[in-house]
Structure 1
Amino acid sequence: MVYNSKQSDPQVQLNLSSCRLKPKYFDGTMTHPYCSKRCAPTGTKSSKASSNASSTPTNTANCDVYHDSTASRHDSLQFCHIRPKYSGHNFCSRTCAQKAGSQSLSKSNGGPRGLCHAPGCQKPAHIDPDGSSAELVETICLLCRKAPKLAKSHFCSQNCRDEAEKKGPMILEVPIGHVTFKDVADQFKASWRHPNTHCPAVKQVYKILAPQAQLASYNAYRASVEARGQFVSAGRHPGNENRRWHGTRRECNLGDKGHTQFCSSQTCSLCCIVRTSFDLSSFGKGTGWGRFGRGIYTSSTSSKSNDYSRNEGCKSPLKAILLNKVVVGKGHKLTSNHETLTAPPNGCDSVLGEKGGTLNYDQ
C-alpha cells in the first residue's frame, strides 16, 4: 500500500493480479503479471515487471470481484464483492444483507446512513432479520414515534392515545410516506372534481389533537345520533359519520413546514377552528350568506372547499384545508337554495345539498 504525498489524504493502491483475487507473484527478483501458472493464460510467459510495477510483495485485502469461471463475476455478487451469493439469495450472508439494507435506506432518506425516516428522529433505522429495512415510517405512532401504531388508531398504545388527548389542542406532523398521509392525500386528489382546474400536490398533513372535553362532547353527540338512527346495523359508521372538507381563511402560516403553533389573532379562522372547533356565531362572516341558512358547511368535494380556502395577511405559496369527521346522521336532501333555514327539519340531523338544480357540487 502506498499513498500519494501530493494528496492531503492517503490513497490506497492494491497490487493485484488479473484475477483480482490474489496478489501478483513475486519470485524474489521480479513481480509477475499473474498470481500463479493456473491464473496465467496458456502459452503466456512472465515478463519483466513494468516500470510502474512494485518491486516488493504487496499485502492485499480480499479481491473485490469473485473469480468464478462458470459465472459472470459481477452477477455472482450483490454487495460486498468478496464472496458469491448464497444459493437462492441476493447476498452471501445476513451480515451483507443488513449492511446493504442500511445503505439503501440511507440513500432514500438523504441523510446519515441507516437513520429513521420519522421527522426529527436521529436513531438508527430498524433492520429486519433478513436484512431488509422495515418501513416503520408507514405506520409509526404519531406521538412517541417509537413503535408501530395500532390498527384503526394514530397511536401505538392506549397510553400514547391518552397522553395525546391531554396535550390538545395541538397539531402533530404526519410524516410523508405514512399511511395517514397517503390516505388524506388520496382522498384530496380523488375528490377534486372541478374540470379544467389543477389539483395541487399535498405538501403537509397534520393530525389535530382536540381537547378531551371537546372530544367527549363530540362522541356523546355521535352516540345519541347513532342510538336514533341505528346506522351501524346498516353497515355505516356510528352516527353515519363521514369525512368532509372545509375551506377557511388563515392569517398565519399554521400548517406550513415547521409551523405548528397557533397565532394569537382572534380572527384567524384556521387557528380558532383547530383550537375550539367550529363556532356557529362565526357563520356568514366570510361569505355573507349561506345557501341553506345558518350552519356549518362542509363538502365531500375538495375542489369545492378549496374555493373558500385563502390566506389573508400571511405570505405563503400554500393554502390550508381541513378534513373533518362529520356526524351526518339522517340527512334532509335539497338541490336548490333554502336560505332561511336555521336547523334541519324535524326528524333529520343535517341538510344535504346534492348536485343538481342550483348546485354544481355537494355541500
Structure 2
Amino acid sequence: YVQYCRLRPKYSDGSKVHPYCGKTCANKDNMKNRTPAMGNQPPQLFVPGANCDFCSVRPKYFDGTKTHPFCSKTCSKNANGHSHELSRKHTTVTRNPTSKAPPGICQAPNCRNAVYTNANGSLGDYCSLAHKTLGETLCLMCLQAPKMTLSHFCSQACIERAEKTGPVLFEVPAGHTTFKSVADQFKASWRHSTHCPPVRRVYKIYSPAPSLAAYEAYKINVESRGQFVSQGRSAGNENRRWHGTRRECHLGDKGHTRLCSSTTCSLCCIIRTSYDLKLFGKKTGWGRFGRGIYTSSTSSKSNDYSQNDCKSKLKAIILNKVVVGKGYKLTHDLTTLTSPPQGYNSVLAEKGGSLNYDELVVYTNDAIRPSFLVMYEP
C-alpha cells in the first residue's frame, strides 16, 4: 500500500508499479516534503524515508547538499540535551528493571506520588494513566524515557549504547508491552494438551551491530525479490519463531544476565554469536528436512528441546526473528536438503504426514537471529 495515504494500493500501469495510488497522493507527498520559501531562499527539502534521529516522526533536514541527523533545530537541541542527561544518568544509575518503589508509590521513573486507588479499593501500580503508559513503554536501555515507535529504545544515544555492549540481555519489566507481547505469544502457541506454564522473565537479546547488519542485509535482499510488503506482510516475511536448546548455566535466572564461557552451553553460544550451520547434527546426527536451522511457531514443541544441565526452577526458550521469505511446504521427511528448493527461501514443514507440529527451517545463518530469552516454569 501507498506509504503516503496507507489506504489504497500503489498504481500499476501494467508494466510498472508506481510509488503512489494516484496524482493526488503524489502531489500531497511532494508538498509535504517542502517547507515554504523564506525571502529569496529556495524551498527547503526533506529526504523522504529518513526520519529524525530524535523524534523519529519527521524526515531529517536536507539543506541541498547535506542530510542532517535531525528534522529541526529544536530536535537537535533536545537530542543533545537528552544525550547529556542520559550520559549523566548512566554513570550514576544502575539499570535494574526488577527494583520497585515502595508499596503505594508510583512505579514510574523518578515519581514519588501515591498510586491510584481502584474502585474496588485495590491499589494500582501508577499514580496516573500517563505514568502507566510510560511504565508500559519504557526504553529498555535507560528505563527513563518512553521508547520510540518500532524500537526498544528511546533515542539514538541508547541505540548506540546497546550496539556497543552487544551481545547483551535487557530484562523487560513485567508490566511492559513487550513482556505482554512475548508472554501472550508463548501462551497462544502452546498447542500440546499439557497445561501451559507461566512466563516469569523476559529478556530482550541485543546482538552485536555487525551481526544485526548482516541479518538486515539478508532481509532486504529477500524482500527485494519477494516484495512481501506489497502483499501486506512484513519485510522479508519476517516472523517470530521458537527454539529450545540446552542450558548449562543459570543465565536467565534472577540476577543472572551475563553469558557463561562454556563452549558447550548452547544457550549462551546462540545468544553470543547466533546460530551456526557448522554445528548442525551435533546432537541428533540428522535433520528431518536436511541441514538447516530449525524453529517452530509452537512453543510447546520447542519446550521439548529445552534442557537444563543446571539446578534451576525455570526453563529457557528463545524467541527468534526469522526471515521466512517464500516458504516451500512439506509434510514428509526430506533429509537430503542442504538448501531450500530453487525459488524458495525456507521450508515450511506442516502438521500432518510425519509431523505432529510445525517446523520452520532456514538454510543460511543470516536468516535468523535470537530476539528474546523467555524464562518459564517447567
Please give the TM-score of this superposition, normalised by the length of structure 2: 0.63
Give me the CA root mean square deviation.
2.0
Choose between structure 1 and 2: higher helix proportion.
Answer: 2
Match of 1:310 in 2: 307
My pick for the range that moved more, 180-189 or 350-359, is: 350-359
Match of 2:93 in 1: none
- Distance, in Å, in 2 between the alignment partners of 1:126 and 1:275 is 41
| Residues 302-357 of structure 1, C-alpha deviations (whole Å, 9 max, x = no match) | 00111100111x11021110000000001111001111111111111101101111
- The offset of 1:213, in angstroms, is 0.3
- The offset of 1:286, in angstroms, is 2.4
- Distance, in Å, in 1 between the alignment partners of 2:127 and 2:260 is 46
Sort the Cα spacing of 1:125 and 1:328 in 2 relative to 1 into closer, same or farther, 3 A.
farther
The one-letter amino acid paired with 1:225 is: V
| Residues 114-140 of structure 1, C-alpha deviations (whole Å, 9 max, x = no match) | 2536xxx7x435789x96361132111
Contact 1:254–1:262 (CA<8 Å) still a contact in 2?
yes
1:124 paired with 2:121, answer: no
The one-letter amino acid paired with 1:226 is: E
1:203-282 superposed matches below 5 A: 203-282=200-279
> Higher relative contact order by CA 8 Å / sep ≥ 6: 1 or 2?
2
Match of 2:325 in 1: 329
Matched positions, count: 249
Q: 1:137 aligns with which of 132, 135, 138?
A: 135
| Residues 17-69 of structure 1, C-alpha deviations (whole Å, 9 max, x = no match) | xxxxxxxxxxxxxxxxxxxxxxxxxxxxxxxxxxxxxxxxxxxxxxxxxxxxx
- The offset of 1:198, in angstroms, is 1.5
Q: Secondary structure at the match of 2:242?
A: strand
The one-letter amino acid paired with 2:341 is: P
Q: Secondary structure at the match of 2:240?
A: strand
- Distance, in Å, in 1 between the alignment partners of 2:127 and 2:206 is 36
Contact 1:247–1:322 (CA<8 Å) still a contact in 2?
yes
Contact 1:249–1:310 (CA<8 Å) still a contact in 2?
yes
- The offset of 1:166, in angstroms, is 1.6
Q: 1:184 aligns with which of 182, 185, 189?
A: 182
- Distance, in Å, in 1 between the alignment partners of 2:112 and 2:217 is 41
Q: Secondary structure at the match of 2:205?
A: strand
- Distance, in Å, in 2 between the alignment partners of 1:233 and 1:227 is 11
Sort the Cα spacing of 1:131 and 1:302 in 2 relative to 1 into closer, same or farther, 3 A.
closer
Tell me, which stretches of 5 or more residues in structure 2 are unaligned? 1-99, 116-125, 360-378
1:1-363 superposed matches below 5 A: 111=102, 114=105, 116=107, 123-125=110-112, 132=128, 134-135=131-132, 136-195=134-193, 197-312=194-309, 314-363=310-359
Q: Which has the larger radius of gyration?
A: 1
- The offset of 1:112, in angstroms, is 5.4
- Distance, in Å, in 2 between the alignment partners of 1:234 and 1:310 is 39
Q: Secondary structure at the match of 2:260?
A: coil
- Distance, in Å, in 2 between the alignment partners of 1:127 and 1:353 is 53
- Distance, in Å, in 2 between the alignment partners of 1:298 and 1:249 is 14
- The offset of 1:282, in angstroms, is 1.3
Q: Secondary structure at the match of 2:315?
A: coil
- Distance, in Å, in 2 between the alignment partners of 1:115 and 1:256 is 26
- The offset of 1:111, in angstroms, is 2.0
Contact 2:113–2:127 (CA<8 Å) still a contact in 1?
no
Q: What is the identity percentage for the equivalent residue pairs of Structure 1 and Structure 2?
A: 67
The one-letter amino acid paired with 2:336 is: T
Please give the TM-score of this superposition, normalised by the length of structure 1: 0.65
The one-letter amino acid paired with 1:336 is: H
The one-letter amino acid paired with 1:192 is: W
Q: Secondary structure at the match of 2:354?
A: coil
Contact 1:143–1:160 (CA<8 Å) still a contact in 2?
yes
- Distance, in Å, in 2 between the alignment partners of 1:126 and 1:161 is 30
Tell me, which stretches of 5 or more residues in structure 1 are unaligned? 1-108
- Distance, in Å, in 2 between the alignment partners of 1:131 and 1:270 is 39
Contact 1:116–1:126 (CA<8 Å) still a contact in 2?
no
Contact 2:220–2:236 (CA<8 Å) still a contact in 1?
yes
